[in-house]
Amino acid sequence: METIEEIIIQKISHSSLHLVDWDHLEFGKYNSDHMLVCDYAEGEWKVPEIVPFSNLSLSPTALALHYGQTIFEGMKAFRMQDGSINIFRPRKHYERMLLSAERMCMPAIPRQIFLEGLQRLVELDSNWVPSSQGSALYIRPFMIATEARLGVKVAEEYKFIIVNSPVETLYPKPIKVKIERDFVRACRGGTGYAKCGGNYGAAFYPTQKARQEGFDQVIWMDSRENNYVEESGMMNVMFVIGDKIMTPPLSDSILDGVTRDSLLVLARDAGIPVEEKPIHVDQLKDAFRKNSISEAFGVGTAAVASAIQMIGIDDLKYYLPSGPFKVMEFLKNKFNRVRTGLDPDIHRWNHVV
């Protein structure tokens, strides 16, 4: 990797590490001591800086606040068995952030600033990487349009920032989901494949409505026919039907999850058949009728995998078997073993710093 010639590092004078209650790391409650900030203006990226975590100073007319030019990533660093720190698949997250930036007309972040800046930041805040089983340092790179202008336009000034937050293992309870027929998360030609702020804001309302109806999440459907499964909440979705893992193929309305990709690779390594094909709701109903569906789960960085216990399809409730989801548990366990160095990293996903 090309190295950054300069990176300005301004260390905190007093760490807030002692304020952390390591037994209760609610998601996003704590921020590590430092953050990386890099400004873009006059057509170029300035020198990245690692500075104490602090509030930003922005003009009230900063364009991100009005027209939604904001993108983000979510990834994790783990404490390995030998004490070293592993940032999981940073290049894949970097490439996805470039795609998001392109879709939102934002400038590409240079590879060295993202990857090396990330590494330096994690090294500096290495004490913030928890070591208890399943916990991790959640890493949130993001970019916002900072140019102060009220007119609707593509901004000419941006900030790229990385902040970190120690998080504990999530053991999500099996959730109830609803096939969402009235609202869509993403449409063909839209921004569904990009991790841009607007996608999430637009998903709150349907999700709240589903909660009022007694569900935890919605299953998003395709925008054209309203018949094909796309994602589960903010996670990709997988089903085990007749011993095969089935998941919708990537498209411009499905986010290319790093967890999705990794779990599919691990499944194929283990000889579990995987099918990436459009999944019609009728196919799900049929599988419930024939009892051939054994598992349904969402997959994403925050929880790795989250079991689904019930799917509401057009006023009917379909229940998954209540026993442990064997395929899901196998994949989750294998995934965690690779990320913490217990099993060999044959796909070179680990970036040990």
Ligand X SMILES: *Cc1c(COP(=O)(O)O)cnc(C)c1O
Binding site residues, ligand X, CB under 6 A: 74, 195, 231, 234-236, 255, 257-260, 300-301
What are the CA-CA distances from residue 315 to residues 47, 151, 322 (Å)? Answer: 56, 45, 21
For residues 234 and 327, which CB has a smaller minimum distance to ligand X in the complex?
234
**Least Cβ distance, residue 308 to ligand X (angstroms):** 15
Q: Tell me which residue of 93, 98, 96, 118 sits closest to 108, measured CA to CA.
A: 98
* Closest approach of ligand X to the CB of residue 141, in Å: 12
345 with 338: CB under 8 angstroms?
Answer: yes
Q: Closer CB to ligand X, residue 124 or residue 305?
A: 305
Q: Is the CB of 236 or the CB of 340 nearer to ligand X?
A: 236
Q: Which residues pair with 175 in a beta bridge?
A: 308
Tokens representing residue 237 in the block: 């979705």
Q: For 203-233, give one letter per residue: b (16+ CB within 10 A) or e.
A: beebbeebeeeebbbbbbbbbeeeebbbbbb
Q: How far is the CB of 339 from ligand X (least distance, A)?
A: 13
**Nearest residue (CB) to ligand X, 86 versus 236:** 236
Residue whose CB is less far from ligand X, 155 or 235: 235
Distant-in-sequence, close-in-space partners of 31: CB < 8 Å, separation ≥ 6:
53, 163, 164, 165
Least distance (Å) from ligand X to the CB of residue 169? 15
Q: Nearest 5°: phi and psi at 324?
A: -65, 145
Identify which of residues 7 and 144 has a Cβ nearer to ligand X in the complex.
144
Measured over the CA atoms of residue 285, residue 319, residue 203 and residue 236, the dihedral's sign is negative
The minimum distance between CB 89 and ligand X, in angstroms, equals: 9
In one-letter notation, the amino acid at residue 138 is Y
Give, in order, the Cα–Cα distances in Å from 332 to each of 299, 306, 351: 10, 10, 19
At residue 269, what are phi and psi to the nearest 5 degrees?
-55, -35
**157/231 with CB nearer ligand X:** 231
> From the CB of 276, what's the least distance to ligand X, in Å?
15
Q: How far is the CB of 233 from ligand X (least distance, A)?
A: 8
Q: How far apart are CB 312 and ligand X at their closest, in Å?
A: 20
Task: Output the smallest distance, CB 333 to ligand X, in A.
Answer: 17
H-state helical runs in 52-148: 64-67, 90-103, 111-124
Nearer to ligand X, 38 or 75 (CB): 75
By beta-carbon proximity to ligand X, the closer residue of 33 and 86 is: 86
- Rounded Cα distance, 271 and 20, in Å: 42
**DSSP secondary structure string for all residues of 268-314:** HHTT--EEE---BHHHHHHHHHTT-EEEEEEEETTTEEEEEEEEEET
Residue appearing with tokens 């991100």: 64
Pair of tokens at residue 100 = 């998001």
